[in-house]
Every structure is written in structure tokens, then in C-alpha cells.
């Protein structure tokens, strides 16, 4: 495998950080996202400008929005209903009127100003969200004043964004999403949610919650909408964000794709449904465990929160060794599902690449941002394994661009990790 050092150019670009100051991209930050600049630099290095791009793991739409702004058609697929909404809203920003948004903001502000003391909370099957003074619970995610503030906002959005203003509703909901962690008693610790140290004493007032929300609406969203250039009459940039599981939906997309730029979930047992619980449960996407389970199941095999079948996997030496080790007595695993997750991860990715191949134009290029992982101190070279799995089914790996080293929490893995614990971009070509 041709491993090339891209640390100087890519180390920052494979993170979401640069997007935090770019209009529209900054509407909702996603730790697991990459930067618009990464997408742009990949498109600009192509000898022939691509016409159609595809991202099977669209997230909050970084690839789609960057393509949109470059006048390139992009098809993307996203399995989380919340991320799907964020991507959709952002890639439709040119349809928004700044005057309408301003009027709606003023009306919502007025509604919030007149908020009454009692506010109904939705019925959620999960009991962890609300402080309930009558129960024996010792922990809750939102203090009463905060959940009141949140549902004041939800109600105001519902009342104001009706009829012709319905398309604006989701933007306000996404603004609310950006403040949920700040006003809650928990934080995203990388794998799930943990309670903040001072959560019992730190209580935001209802009005403070309103103000956080209005600040984001005015200082981020409204500012970006106001600064938009008027579009010419014939402005048309096709964009297609599809909701669902790309392992299935990929078979339905159209042919003629020139380039794929994507970042699948990493093989790091992160369950997005867990990490984004606040957004999913509080904003009406999930109210029952069954619904949560269904969203979990639609994710690429990359976490151990559901029972996983023992599937076959691509016959790559590095993968065979890894699976043999993980299934042996030598491996000390924190979850017995890990070997099946590793099998399933590479099986899913190889199947996806196989289903995608007929949709690609000859010589189409694929850029896949991934990270290596370690379990029981055994480092799994995800980039090399994916590249080799792709080579078995009609792709050539041109290079693996090493973007940056990544940290490992285990001491022993640290010793072994020289060069191997890395985040990278795999460059494939259809042959
Ligand atoms: C690393 S993130 C991609 C972030 C994206 N590059 C961005 O900057 O917004 C991976 C995304 O894949 C999504 N995902 C996981 N499994 C999926 C599946 N089977 N089909 C479609 N999307 C999936 C996750 O919900 C998550 O949004």
C-alpha cells in the first residue's frame, strides 16, 4: 500500500473545526464531521471537474453543501433523521428570505417574552430527561426551569412557523439543538453522555435558555442569511439529500457518479443514537425505545449497542489476524460483541462499495476518510483493510493519505502505535 504523508495539509481539514467560522456550515457543529475545505481541496485537485458527487454517510451535509456552493450536483444519504434535517436545511439556504426570517424571529421573541408559567412536556418513554419532583430519581438531564425554557421555544416555533412559513421551522429547531448540551446537565464525552461535575447546582433559568437560543438565531443564522448574495434568476444547483440506510439506498441512486467523498462512522463503537440523544429525544425525532432501536439498526455496523450476527468478512490477511486475535482467549474485551462488530464493519463497507460500483463512471475516484482503531491493545489498520477489500472487487487503491496521528487511551497500545494509530483518507479508483 502506498502510504503518503498529508499531515501538513490534512491534519486540520479532517476535523470540523474550520467549518465553525464558515457561514451556513457553522449552523450546527458536528464533532465527527470533516471540513468543507477538505471536500473543496479534493474537488480542486481533479484534472476534470466532477459533475456528480456522492456521499453515502452525509452527516450534516458538509460534502453536499460544499458541492452545492461549487455548482456540483451531490447525492448524499444519511441515516439519522436529525442530521438529515440539518443537511437538508443547510443545502436549501438559497430558498430563504432574510425578511421572512427576521419577521419570524421577532414573533418568536415576542411569544417567548409572553411565556406562561406552566408548559406541557412531551411524553418520552425514557425517564432520564426531566426532573420530576414527585419521583425517587437521583439524576435527570434537564432541570425543570431548563426543560420549561426548551418547550417554551418549541411551542413558540410551532405557533409562528405555520403555512407559508413552515419551511423555516426546521432552522429554528436546529438553532435550539445547538444549545441543548450547554443548558443540560450532561456533556458528550466521545462515546456517550456523562454528567457534568457541578450539574446539581448549575441551573439555568427559563429566560436564560430563551436567550441562548435567540443569540444563536440572531448572531449566527440571521447574520448568515442577511449576508447571502441574491441569486441570479437561472440559479439552479441540483442537490439530493436522501434519508435512510446507505447500505440499501445506494442501490436506488442514479448512475453517472464521478467522485465519492465521504467519511463513514469509524470502527470505534460510537453509537450516534446515544451521543445525540438530547437532539433526537428532545426535538421530537424519538419518543419510544422502539424508534431508537430502529435508528440504531440503520447505522453501519460500528457499535455494540445491538446484538450483532457473526458475518463473513473480506479475506484480507490483516483482518483475518485481527478477528482471530479478538476471538481468542488472549483478547480482553469490554464487550463480547466487538469481534462481530469488526466482522460486520468490513463486510458492510465492502458490500456498499460493491453495490456502488455500477453507479460510478469509468475512472471515478473515491476519497474515504477513516481512522484506525485498537481493541485489547490490538491495532486494526482500518485504512489498509478497506483499501485491500476494495481491490478485491474492482477498485485500485492509489494511495492512503495519512492525515494525522490519533491518540489511544491504552498505555500498551500507545507503545505499539507508532504510525499505526492514524486518521487517513483512502484514495480509490474504479477500474
Ligand atoms: C463521520 S459522520 C459523517 C460526517 C460528515 N462527513 C459531515 O461532515 O457532516 C458519519 C455519518 O454516517 C451516518 N451513518 C451511519 N450509518 C449510516 C448508514 N447506514 N447510512 C447512512 N448514513 C449512516 C451517521 O449518522 C453520521 O452522520
CA of 208 to the centre of ligand 1 (A): 33
* pLDDT higher than 70, residue 133: no
Distance between Cα 83 and ligand 1 center (Å): 8
Which residue(s) pair with 188 in the sheet? 193
C-alpha distance from residue 165 to each of 86, 157, 209, 388 (Å): 17, 10, 24, 50
Give yes or no for residue 274 CB within 6 A of ligand 1: no
| Confidence (pLDDT) at 235 | 60
Going by alpha carbons, the residue nearest to atom 6 of ligand 1 is 33
pLDDT by residue (tens digit) across 195-254?
A: 999 999 999 999 999 999 999 999 999 999 988 876 666 665 667 999 999 999 999 999
Within 10 A of 277 (CB to CB), how many other CB atoms are there?
23
Fold category of 3-82+237-269+304-430 in CATH: Rossmann fold (3.40.50)
Say yes or no to pLDDT of 409 above 70. no
Residue 236: per-residue pLDDT: 59
Query: Ligand 1 mean position to 370 CA, how many Å?
Result: 12
Q: What is d(CA 189, CA 202) in angstroms, rounded to the nearest whole number? A: 19
H or E element, residue 211: helix 206-216
- Angle (CA) 216-219-220 rounded to 5° is 70
Q: How far is CA 416 from CA 1, 381, 411, in A?
A: 20, 12, 9
Instruction: Return d(Cα 368, Cα 290) in angstroms, integer.
Output: 32
Q: Is 272 in the pocket of ligand 1 (CB under 6 A)?
A: yes
Q: How confident is the model at residue 116 (pLDDT cuts 50, 70, 90)?
A: confident
Where are the domains positioned within the chain?
A: 3-82+237-269+304-430, 97-226
Between 14 and 232, name the one with better pLDDT: 14
Candidate from 59, 174, 250, 275 with most ligand 1 atoms within 8 A of CB, to mutate:
59
- pLDDT at position 423 is 96
Lowest model confidence (mean pLDDT) among 67-81, 82-96, 371-385, 407-421: 407-421
* 301 pocket-lining for ligand 1 (C-beta < 6 Å): no
Rounded to whole angstroms, the Cα distance separating 421 from 201 reads 40
pLDDT at 421: 87
261 lines ligand 1 (CB under 6 A): no
pLDDT at 416: 60
Q: Which three cell numbers stand for residue 360?
A: 460510478
Question: What are the φ and ψ backbone dihedral angles of 93, each rounded to 5 degrees?
Answer: -65, -25
Q: Does the C-beta of 37 come closer than 6 Å to ligand 1?
A: no
* Residue 344: closest CA among 394, 304, 292: 304
Rama region for 109: left / alpha / beta (φ>0; ψ in -120 to 50; rest): alpha
**Ligand 1 centroid distance, CA of 397 (Å):** 23
Determine the atom of ligand 1 nearest the C-alpha atom of 272: 25
Any atom of ligand 1 within 6 Å of the Cβ of 345: no
Q: Locate the DSSP E strands across 150-271.
A: 186-188, 193-195, 239-243, 257-262
How far apart (Å, rounded) are the C-alpha atoms in residues 364 and 430?
A: 5
Please give the DSSP secondary-structure letter assigned to residue 218. Answer: I
Amino acid at each position: 500500500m502506498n502510504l503518503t504523508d498529508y499531515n501538513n495539509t490534512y491534519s486540520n481539514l479532517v476535523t470540523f473545526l474550520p467549518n465553525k467560522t464558515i457561514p451556513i456550515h457553522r449552523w450546527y457543529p458536528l464533532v465527527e464531521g470533516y471540513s468543507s475545505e477538505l471536500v473543496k481541496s479534493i474537488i480542486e485537485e481533479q484534472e476534470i471537474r466532477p459533475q456528480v458527487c456522492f456521499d453515502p454517510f452525509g452527516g450534516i451535509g458538509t460534502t453536499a453543501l460544499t458541492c452545492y456552493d461549487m455548482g456540483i450536483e451531490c447525492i448524499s444519504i444519511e441515516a439519522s433523521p436529525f442530521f438529515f434535517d440539518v443537511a437538508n436545511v443547510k443545502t436549501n439556504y438559497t430558498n430563504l428570505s432574510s425578511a421572512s426570517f427576521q419577521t419570524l424571529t421577532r414573533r418568536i421573541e415576542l411569544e417567548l417574552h409572553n411565556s406562561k408559567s406552566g408548559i406541557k412536556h412531551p411524553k418520552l418513554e425514557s425517564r432520564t430527561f426531566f426532573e420530576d419532583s414527585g419521583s425517587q430519581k437521583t439524576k435527570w438531564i434537564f432541570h425543570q426551569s431548563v426543560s420549561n425554557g426548551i418547550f417554551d421555544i418549541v411551542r413558540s416555533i410551532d405557533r409562528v412557523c405555520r403555512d407559508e412559513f413552515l419551511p423555516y421551522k426546521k432552522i429554528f429547531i436546529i438553532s435550539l439543538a445547538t444549545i441543548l448540551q450547554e443548558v443540560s446537565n450532561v456533556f458528550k464525552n466521545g462515546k456517550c453522555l456523562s454528567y457534568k461535575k457541578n450539574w446539581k447546582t448549575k441551573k439555568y433559568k427559563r429566560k436564560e435558555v430563551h436567550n441562548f437560543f435567540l443569540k444563536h438565531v440572531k448572531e449566527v443564522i440571521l447574520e448568515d442569511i442577511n449576508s447571502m448574495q441574491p441569486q441570479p434568476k437561472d440559479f439552479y444547483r441540483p442537490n439530493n439529500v436522501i434519508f435512510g440506510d446507505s447500505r440499501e439506498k445506494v442501490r436506488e441512486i442514479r448512475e453517472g457518479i464521478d467522485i465519492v467523498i465521504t467519511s463513514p462512522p469509524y470502527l470505534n463503537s460510537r453509537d450516534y443514537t446515544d451521543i445525540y440523544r438530547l437532539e433526537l429525544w428532545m426535538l421530537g425525532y424519538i419518543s419510544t425505545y422502539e424508534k431508537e432501536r430502529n435508528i440504531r439498526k440503520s447505522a453501519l455496523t460500528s457499535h455494540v449497542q445491538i446484538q450483532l450476527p457473526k458475518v463473513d468478512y473480506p479475506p484480507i490477511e490483516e483482518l483475518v489476524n485481527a478477528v482471530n486475535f479478538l476471538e481468542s482467549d488472549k483478547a480482553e474485551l469490554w464487550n463480547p460483541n466487538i469481534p462481530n462488530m469488526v466482522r460486520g464493519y468490513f463486510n458492510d463497507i465492502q458490500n456498499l462499495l460493491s453495490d456502488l460500483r455500477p453507479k460510478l463512471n469509468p475512472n471515478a475516484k473515491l476519497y474515504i476518510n477513516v481512522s484506525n482503531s485498537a481493541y485489547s491493545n490490538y491495532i486494526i489498520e482500518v485504512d489498509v483493510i478497506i483499501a485491500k477489500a476494495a481491490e478485491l472487487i474492482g477498485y485500485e487503491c492509489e494511495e492512503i493519505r495519512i492525515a494525522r496521528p490519533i491518540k489511544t487511551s491504552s498505555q500498551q497500545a500507545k507503545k505499539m502505535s507508532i504510525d499505526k494509530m492514524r486518521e487517513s483518507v483512502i484514495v480509490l479508483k474504479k477500474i
